[in-house]
């Protein structure tokens, strides 16, 4: 006996247009973030690393390599290499945990803070446009 094919509703032109505009805004944001990072003397990955450390979920402005690997969806070895290069560039520093001697926290150095702040502030308009695109998806 033949099974009936599953019927999937076709998106309306309006639904597709909203998602398309969101994707355009997302691409613009990504491209702008790359340009801004480079203008601040950072690679896009280093900018993202600084953002993840500064913007830690618990607001303590620090992170571990394990936490970063999870948040960045990268292998721990890739994050370890990224951190080592950022540390060599004077952007992050390691500090031992006061609670667990096996844990090392990463923090931004003053130079890391300066470059991150410059990039972050430069992307304000792009973040606003992306928030508007997300809001348009929810209408």
Q: Which residues of 59-72 are buried (b: 16+ CB within 10 A; e: fewer)?
A: eeebbbbebbbebb
Residue 7 is given by DSSP the state: P
pLDDT at residue 2, rounded to an integer: 62
For tokens 């993202």, the residue is 48
pLDDT at residue 98, rounded to an integer: 86
Query: Positive or negative, the Cα torsion across 22, 72, 125, 40?
Result: negative
The model carries a pTM of 0.85
Q: Domains in the chain and their CATH numbers?
A: 13-137 (1.10.10.10)
10-residue mean pLDDT series, the chain (139 residues)? 77 91 93 96 96 96 95 95 97 92 94 96 93 83
pLDDT at residue 23, rounded to an integer: 93
Residue 99 is given by DSSP the state: S
pLDDT at residue 58, rounded to an integer: 94
């Amino acid at each position: 006996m033949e099974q009936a094919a599953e019927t999937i509703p076709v998106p309306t032109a309006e639904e597709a247009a909203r998602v398309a505009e969101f994707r355009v805004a997302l691409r613009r944001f990504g491209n702008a973030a790359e340009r801004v990072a480079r203008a601040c003397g950072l690679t896009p990955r280093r900018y993202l690393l600084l953002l993840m450390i500064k913007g830690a979920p618990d607001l303590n402005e620090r992170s571990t390599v394990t936490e970063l690997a999870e948040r960045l969806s990268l292998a721990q070895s890739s994050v370890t290499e990224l951190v080592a290069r950022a540390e060599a560039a004077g952007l992050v520093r390691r500090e031992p945990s006061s609670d667990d001697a096996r844990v090392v926290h990463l923090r931004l150095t003053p130079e890391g803070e300066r470059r991150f702040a410059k990039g972050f502030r430069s992307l304000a308009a792009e973040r606003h446009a992306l928030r508007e695109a997300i809001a348009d998806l929810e209408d």
